Structures are given as C-alpha cells and as structure tokens.
C-alpha cells in the first residue's frame, strides 16, 4: 500500500503540467488558445472582483511562485507582487502583455494629489487587434519556455489570429450603421475598444470611485444632451450611481462583463447591446 501511494505521488509529480499564471480571466482565454492543454493555467483575479482594488489570497501567491511564466497586464493589484518577484523569485518569468502596446493616458481629477502613478489605461484586452499583438507575445514566451511544443504553439497562434481578424470584421459590420457614438459605462474599461471602433465611452466612475453628487449631475446633463439610452454596468463594481442615472435618463441598464473567461462570446454580447442601443 505504502509503495502504491508513493508511486501515485511520483506519478502525479512527474506528469503534473507546468503552471502558467495570468492576472485576469481574459488572459486565461488567450493563453489557453495558444497553449492548448500543454499547461495548467492559474488566474489571480477571481470572477466578479474589482480588478483595481483586489488583493490576492496567500494560496494564490503560492501557486504564482511555482509558475514558469507569469503573464501580467500591470494592474494595480499586481504591482506589489511584481516588485517582490523581481527580487525573490527569479525562476518565474514575468511577461507584461501591455509592454509593446502604446497605452492611453488616463484622465485624473486628482492628478495634483499624486494619483498620477496609475496614469496609463490598462484595459487593452477588449480590442481584438491589440489582442493579436498580445497573442504573439504569449506564443513567443511559451515557445522559449517549452521549445518542444513550438509547432503546436505556432499553429494555434495562426488559428487564433484568424479568429481575432474575423471578430474584428464582425464588430465593424455590426457597428457600421449606428447613428450615435456615445455610450455610458460604469467602469471605463472600453477605451481601446472605443478608439478602435470610433465610439466615445463616457464613464460614471471618477478615479475608481462612485461620482460625487456634482459630478453625477454633470453626467446626467451630458447624457441628456447626447440622448443616451443605455448604461453598461459591471458586476463587482458599485451600482448606486448607475441606477440613479438610469432612472433620471429613463435608460436601460445592461450588465456586461469585461473580465470574462468566455472572452469572445462576452465581447460579442456587449457589441450586440451597443448595436441595439446606438441605432
Ligand atoms: Zn479596470
């Protein structure tokens, strides 16, 4: 019996897949597209958590330490870990998927109070064309780490790039006949998407918090002028201001998820909602 248990232990140990860590679920989707089943993917941010205020659990950090690669997107919650990693855990390769992307500067109302630290907008993963460049970075890193799988990773990358091109075409087609360009979203995660498809995202949130009454009044004014009839909200974020806004504007509140593991379907669902509300 003892021998058997020992054997089981060794078998599990020898055949366990290498671990790859990622910050958010969309990155899990991207890595899975390239890596297939060759690795075990560990995602730091759980479902329905605010990606800007989250603190990872100790168990999750232990798994992170065992990872061969950590694909980060440079969110606030990752910064303390990145600092720690660079000095302590040299065996984990850290790859920032936003490194090769020209990032948009975020607007801050308190820039003079030292908030300029987080002044780059990190939400690149909702633009399929930027995802193509992230997919290339993922494939390159995986090939370096596991050269024996090079052929499979290259084939998967080609397939995924084709899928992303087709998603881009679908979005362009769906949005070609819209008459309005402005939409309201609680958490401003659609900057790169909006830029790609000539839309304007109007955020409810101010510097990561619910707006103060004055800011909310301004927003109502703008939304009335632009005749905005839809407000996107995200699970895990505050809902009070959005609810009030919806009531004032007689607008629909649509729940979207910018952090879904089901990246493609969720993105197209949001695009359908935009198509319907911007007609
Ligand atoms: Zn965000």
Nearest Cα residue to 223 out of 249, 243, 242, 205: 249
Which pLDDT value is given to residue 39?
97
Q: What is the pLDDT of residues 38-90, one digit of tens each?
A: 999 999 998 888 888 888 888 888 899 899 999 999 888 888 878 777 777 77
More confidently predicted of 58 and 24: 24
Please give the pLDDT value at position 3: 56
Q: Where are the domains of the chain?
A: 15-170, 177-277
Q: Residue 41 in contact with residue 149, Cβ under 8 Å? A: no
CA 182 to chain centroid, in Å, comes to 22
The angle at the Cα of 45, spanning 190 to 12, to the nearest 5 degrees, equals 135
Ligand 1 centre and the CA of 237: distance in Å? 10
- Specify the pLDDT at position 112: 47
Distance between CA atoms of residues 185 and 196, nearest Å: 17
CB-CB contact of 92 with 73 (8 Å): no
The CATH code of domain 15-170 reads 3.40.50.1980
Written as six digits, the tokens of 148 are 């024996």
Q: What separation in Å is there between the alpha carbon of 261 and the centre of ligand 1?
A: 15
- Ligand 1 centre to CA of 16 (Å) is 33
The whole-number pLDDT of residue 207 equals 83
> Which residues are within 5 Å of ligand 1 (an ion), measured at CB?
51, 189
What pLDDT was estimated at residue 111?
45
Q: Topology of domain 177-277, per CATH?
A: Rossmann fold (3.40.50)
Q: What does pLDDT average to over the chain?
A: 88
> How much distance in Å is there from the Cα of 207 to the middle of ligand 1?
11
Asked if domains 15-170 and 177-277 share a fold, the reply is yes
Residue 93 reports pLDDT greater than 80: yes
Q: How far is the CA of 10 from the centre of ligand 1 (A)?
A: 42
Q: How far is the CA of 152 from the centre of ligand 1 (A)?
A: 33
pLDDT tens digits along 138-173:
999 999 999 999 999 999 999 999 999 999 999 999
Instruction: Indicate the angle between helix axes 150-174 and 25-35, nearest 10 degrees.
Output: 130
């Amino acid at each position: 019996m003892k021998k058997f248990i020992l054997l089981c232990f060794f078998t599990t140990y020898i055949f366990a897949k290498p671990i790859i860590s990622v910050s958010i679920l969309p990155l899990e989707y991207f890595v899975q597209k390239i890596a297939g089943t060759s690795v075990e993917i560990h995602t730091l941010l759980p479902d329905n958590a605010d990606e800007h205020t989250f603190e990872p659990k100790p168990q999750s950090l232990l798994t992170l330490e065992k990872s061969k690669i950590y694909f980060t997107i440079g969110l606030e919650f990752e910064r303390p870990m990145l600092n720690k990693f660079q000095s302590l855990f040299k065996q984990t390769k850290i790859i920032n998927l936003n490194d090769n992307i020209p990032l948009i500067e975020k607007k801050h109302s308190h820039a003079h109070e030292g908030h300029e630290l987080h002044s780059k907008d990190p939400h690149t993963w909702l633009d399929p064309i930027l995802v193509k460049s992230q997919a290339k970075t993922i494939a390159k890193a995986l090939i370096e780490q596991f050269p024996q799988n090079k052929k499979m990773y290259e084939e998967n990358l080609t397939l995924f790039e084709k899928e992303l091109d087709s998603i881009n075409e679908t979005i362009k087609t769906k949005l070609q006949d819209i008459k309005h360009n402005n939409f309201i979203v609680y958490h401003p995660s659609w900057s790169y998407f909006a830029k790609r498809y000539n839309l304007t995202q109007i955020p409810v949130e101010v510097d990561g918090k619910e707006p103060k009454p004055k800011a909310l009044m301004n927003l109502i004014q703008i939304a009335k002028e632009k005749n905005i009839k839809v407000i996107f909200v995200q699970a895990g974020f505050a809902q009070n201001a959005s609810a009030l806004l919806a009531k004032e504007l007689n607008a629909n509140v649509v729940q979207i998820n910018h952090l879904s593991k089901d990246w493609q379907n969720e993105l197209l669902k949001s695009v359908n909602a935009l198509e319907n509300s911007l007609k």
